[in-house]
Structure 1
Amino acid sequence: MNKDTSRAPLSRTGTRSRTFGTTQLQDTGRGVAKAGSGKRRLKRWWRRNRRQLSRLWRRVTRTITPTGWFVIFATATAAILGATLNWVEAWFVAIVGAVLLLVGLPFLLGSRAYLIRIVVDRMRVVAGGAVNLSIEVENSSARPALPATAEMPVGEALRRIPIPFISPQGSVVVPAAVAATARGVIEVGPMTLSRRDPLGLMQRKLTWRDRHLIHVHPRTVFLPPGTAGLVRDLDGAASRRLTDSDLSFHAVREYVQGDAMRHVHWKSTAKTGTLMVRQYEESQTARSAILFDANRTEYASDEEFELGVSVAASVSMQAVREARESFVASQWSPGRLRPSIDGLEELPSQTLSQLLDAWAELEVAEEALPIERLARGLAESRRPLSIVVIVTGSIPDPTRLRRAAASFPEDVTVLAIRCEVLADPASRLLDVCTLFTVGALGDLPQLMLRGVSA
């Protein structure tokens, strides 16, 4: 005993008793330190694994269906009642529920080592066409993959894709087709492979994130050259606005201080004895605005609304092809959550594909302004326009369209197109605009030619 204590470290006081007491206090501190270190290790372990545990918990909760949660709740309740009240019926229900859950587990075991890629032959198609898909499935495991059935959303529908037997490290291509019957945007994918037990208590889903957006463009027709602006000009057509410097000579007027001396008309000055300067008509290239009425209440049917979209898209396409300055607007623009203050929503029209994609994404306008206020907003926007094309349905009468056209200045040509399914094509010259009635998309080129000749 003395021999052991003599080998212990001595304290600065030099007494053995105090040294021995100090040793006991150090042992107690070590115990507290060990308990504290255990808590710290537990906290570090929780920090490292809490994400994995939460991810595992989410997987488990997603695996159980609403029916499965009901069975689990009924089983747990029956087990508690059987243990506390000794009810034989409750134990029977608990045992049956546990057996059902255990029977459903083997159907979820195993995994599919699939690598799936969706290949689309084209991302843009005209309404009425079809898009061909190639679903490439590769088995990346060293074991064969048994046949399975995958689910693939196609727009609002859900397609079931049968996947055949695939050998180890093998691959297969499953063809599929998507019918583009109507204008819009079709979302294809992602692929989902689900497993569930026969009773639907548990299910397991594997999702591959490959997805594509297919733009279904409206039907359009080619218009004769020059009809987008109804003006065939190379260097510019003279307008009714007068200016001091341009190409088209109009008249002479008296000199005003500040006028350039190079515009002085010396012959007129010699005759009148007063300085006279030239005055010109301002020339302009055709700057067109296509105004589409997206208010569903102005159309008699959905088919008539789609006819209006096709007419407006055809006119705007011709303006882009001719590289004219154009402004394409509607009451509702793709991507906007709320309408603008004046109701005008510009559609992107830098390229043909961009313009047609915008027409494909266009939907029916909600809280839309009437066509008269929409035309007034365009007239008050101070855009330099030479022609305005208003496309609407069969509900607005000629009086309303005349009122809409009267918002623009006199030097702006206004063309109003009423779309009425199966109506006879007609052209009518009003005092402030030209009114066209289109019953089918094929009537538009001939009517536009009439507008040019007029």
Structure 2
Amino acid sequence: MSALQRLARRALRVPSAAGWALLAATAVLTAAAGPTGWVELRAGALAGAAVLVVAGLFTLGRSDYRVEVVVHADRVVVGERAIGELRITCAARHRLLPARIDLPVGDLTASFPLPSLAPGQVHEEGFLLPTDRRGVVVVGPVSSVRGDPLGLLRRTVRWTAPQSVRVHPRTVRLDLPATGRSPDLDGAASGSLTSSDIAFHALRQYVPGDDRRHVHWRTSARTGELVVRQYDESRRAHVVVVLSTAPADYASAAELELAISAAGSWALSAMRSEQRTTVLTTRGPLPTATPRALLDSLADLPALDDNALAHRSQKADDDAGGVAVLLRDAARRSGASGTVVLTGAHGALAQVQRGARALPVDVPVVVVRALGGEGARIPAQQPSALAGVSASGRLAVVGLTDLLALPRAARAASL
């Protein structure tokens, strides 16, 4: 795009809707005044042109600001207070005329008047970020708007690039066991005995089939019988967290938020316990290299709209089938020692059971059903599965209405 084209596009954005209307009316009056010779039409055209010229004078001149947006934290938890500050410095050599400043914050735009500034003068404005919901709050870009009092013409200049502030979901700490079912020489002792590991336990008599490398020759020479070393088996847990983000699984947007908080709590607690952790969602796997990376990815998950949920198509079986696919994916991952499935009130347990068949029989499966939203209905065919902790086949089912109840429920359905 050439410089002339860019200039033309900027000029076309100067008139507002009212300005375009006045410009069109002035053109019509001017065109009609010639053939008719009516003085009234000519006077109206001249008045419209005069108003446009005066309005244009308010947009003349170059604005020269130095604008800085300071957000004191680029990551916060839902409900935490987040404050930002906007600093505007006059970088011109002369006094600048008053203007209006537009600062988009999330879905809203804060507008406030900027007074006339002398060279080097600083104007500061504070603002609060909306942290009542999980997600990504985009701050900016900051724009200055100069125009006439009637709002016919306005000149907008963008001064900053947008900044992102991630609002992480609430999480709670869970007391998860440090050992698991996956053999690992770097893991914790499980209490089981094995013939090959690193934590020595005792000596025992040799039996046919034992590896000769583990024969304790000094003791064998003293006793006259072959004895071998016995070890404590070391195991490391590999927790797979499966989070459904399918709208059909949830009765309300609040249910999904509760499920996301529960998934984050379980995964973070496993990571703090130095357990291998995998988080799978119906939108793809989430990074678990660091707690911050996991929380950022949870904040990036799209929220549900209650109005959209009320008019959704009923495809619960298809969406629940997505969870079954994730469980089969979990089965293909090496050494899974436990699986946690997070879903909503409409999540079908039958589909979870179908996917759990791909897991080894000694791998426990915990299903956490979020019931924290208004409008959540308990299916009549499964009343016991939605209250407290219960069993459904090989599944341990947790009905969760409050995130603070998750630690106690996790202990009751411990992996």
Pick from 132, 135, 146 the counterpart of residue 195 of structure 1: 146
> Cα offset for 1:317?
0.8
Alignment of 1:202-351 (within 5 A): 202-226=153-177, 234-235=187-188, 237=190, 262=213, 284-332=235-283, 345-351=284-290
> Cα offset for 1:309?
0.9
- Closer, same or farther: CA 168–379 of 1 in aligned 2, 3 Å: closer
Paired position in structure 1 for 2:394: 432
SS of the aligned residue for 2:258 comes to helix
Once the two structures are superposed, residues 411-433 of structure 1 have per-residue CA deviations (whole angstroms, 9 ceiling, x without a partner) of 22211111212898612234312
What is the alpha-carbon distance in structure 2 between the residues aligned to residue 287 and residue 254 of structure 1?
34
> Cα offset for 1:162?
4.0
SS of the aligned residue for 2:266 comes to helix
What is the alpha-carbon distance in structure 1 between the residues aligned to residue 271 and residue 113 of structure 2?
44
Paired position in structure 1 for 2:291: 352
Higher relative contact order (CA 8 A, sep 6+): 2
SS of the aligned residue for 1:221 comes to coil
Q: Do the aligned residues in 1 keep the contact of 2:366 with 2:396 (CA within 8 Å)?
A: yes
> Cα offset for 1:63?
1.2
Alignment of 1:21-60 (within 5 A): 51-60=2-11
What is the alpha-carbon distance in structure 1 between the residues aligned to residue 179 and residue 158 of structure 2?
48
Deviates more, 1:317-326 or 1:150-159: 317-326
Paired position in structure 2 for 1:403: 354
Paired position in structure 2 for 1:378: 329
Task: Pick the structure with greater CA Rg.
Answer: 1
Q: Do the aligned residues in 1 keep the contact of 2:73 with 2:82 (CA within 8 Å)?
A: yes
What is the alpha-carbon distance in structure 1 between the residues aligned to residue 279 and residue 398 of structure 2?
19
Paired position in structure 2 for 1:66: 17
What is the alpha-carbon distance in structure 2 between the residues aligned to residue 228 and residue 415 of structure 1?
17
> Cα offset for 1:55?
3.3
What is the alpha-carbon distance in structure 2 between the residues aligned to residue 228 and residue 390 of structure 1?
20
> Cα offset for 1:143?
2.9
> Cα offset for 1:292?
0.5
> Cα offset for 1:225?
4.4
Structure having the larger proportion of residues in helix: 1
* Letter matched to residue 103 of structure 2: M
Do residues 449 (structure 1) and 411 (structure 2) align? yes
If the length of structure 2 is used for normalisation, what is the TM-score? 0.77
* Letter matched to residue 407 of structure 1: A
What is the alpha-carbon distance in structure 2 between the residues aligned to residue 173 and residue 54 of structure 1?
36
Paired position in structure 2 for 1:369: 319
> Cα offset for 1:61?
1.5
What is the alpha-carbon distance in structure 2 between the residues aligned to residue 215 and residue 437 of structure 1?
29
> Matched residues, percent identical?
30
Once the two structures are superposed, residues 332-385 of structure 1 have per-residue CA deviations (whole angstroms, 9 ceiling, x without a partner) of 2xxxxxxxxxxxx10111111111011111115899731553344324534431
If the length of structure 1 is used for normalisation, what is the TM-score? 0.71
- Aligned residues between the structures: 376
Deviates more, 1:147-156 or 1:436-445: 147-156
What is the alpha-carbon distance in structure 2 between the residues aligned to residue 113 and residue 62 of structure 1?
20
What is the alpha-carbon distance in structure 2 between the residues aligned to residue 228 and residue 392 of structure 1?
26
- Closer, same or farther: CA 376–442 of 1 in aligned 2, 3 Å: closer
What is the alpha-carbon distance in structure 2 between the residues aligned to residue 167 and residue 100 of structure 1?
29
Q: Do the aligned residues in 2 keep the contact of 1:118 with 1:210 (CA within 8 Å)?
A: no
> Cα offset for 1:234?
4.1
Paired position in structure 2 for 1:129: 80
Once the two structures are superposed, residues 41-98 of structure 1 have per-residue CA deviations (whole angstroms, 9 ceiling, x without a partner) of xxxxxxxxx9443333233222122333343334334433433564555534432332
For the aligned residue pairs, the C-alpha RMSD in angstroms reads 3.9
SS of the aligned residue for 2:145 comes to strand
Paired position in structure 2 for 1:169: 120
Q: Do the aligned residues in 1 keep the contact of 2:90 with 2:118 (CA within 8 Å)?
A: yes
Paired position in structure 2 for 1:80: 31
SS of the aligned residue for 1:369 comes to helix
* Letter matched to residue 55 of structure 1: R
